[in-house]
Amino acid sequence: MLKNILMLSVPFIMLLLYSVVACFLGYGLFIALDGSLELRKLISKSTQILLILSIYPLARYLQHSAAELGFVNFTRFMKHIAGGMILGVISLLPILYLSYALDITLLNTAKVWTISSLLGNLAIALLLAFIISLLEEPMFRGILITAYIKRIGISTAILISSFYYAILHFIKTKTPINIEEAQLSDSFQLLGEALQNLFNPQHLGALWALLMVGIFLAVMRTHLKLSLAWCIGCHAAWVWQIKMAHKLVIVNPDSDLVFLVSPYDGVIGPMVAIWLSLLIGSYFIYVSYNSVSTHSY
């Protein structure tokens, strides 16, 4: 029992360890750059870079091949990316439209768009979306899923990897630090605030939605046996749409249904969580029905 608890705690222990190291690195960069970048962002990005750099040695230590982690050759990778993006658009766009149709979100009339500015924003949002998905998917749907399946089974591996994926989004803070008064202890103060943010009740709706996002992507890898490229493409398409939604619409605070989106980002929340739950549930119902039909012959 204790061994299992320790094993399940390894990702969180690693995150804490990297965060502590990032506090030192972030503070050093903050001073070297004379405060031109915010300390909280330097710590956050340093932590992410350390996590990314740990993927290869972790895979070697756990003796997992690239194929086991879900990687495929370049040609198939690009095709699967495209397939994943189509799936991502199909699975999220209806909810974004429904949110607008129900007046939960309103068109942001404060922004004036031209063809060039729209295309430019679409391209930048897509680039950022791919960077995010290329950083996160190898860790959560690659290393964590593969490592835990062999040790605790598919269902628990899906839940644990999705849980860590979800909570990572809330380990952040918005507190600014003045360069003139900055001390190393400020880094650890920011880390403490970021960890406390995990318990913010306002984020429960977003936490639920991100948990379902993680489960959806994990089911793609484990039950559908799709490559990591499918997850990267789907994830990128979701992030792309969310980033564009931030620019095109605003949350309507007077809507009776505003509780269906979370104050975390004004897009994800209970509505997204319910929708993804229905999609996942429908898949398993179909699989179960198909299995019963097959055995009945």
Nearest to 14 by CA among 51, 40, 44, 43: 51
**82, two tokens:** 């495209």
Nearest to 101 by CA among 269, 249, 276: 249
Higher pLDDT, residue 13 or 279: 279
Residue with tokens 């062999």: 150
**267, two tokens:** 């897009």
Q: What is the pTM of this model?
A: 0.91
pLDDT at res. 295: 61
User: DSSP per residue over 122-164, as a string?
Assistant: HHHHHHHHHHHHHHHHIIIIIIIHHHHHHHH-HHHHHHHHHHH
The percentage of the chain sitting over the pLDDT mark of 90, rounded to a whole number, equals: 70
Confidence of residue 48 (pLDDT cuts 50, 70, 90): confident
Nearest to 214 by CA among 273, 262, 284: 273
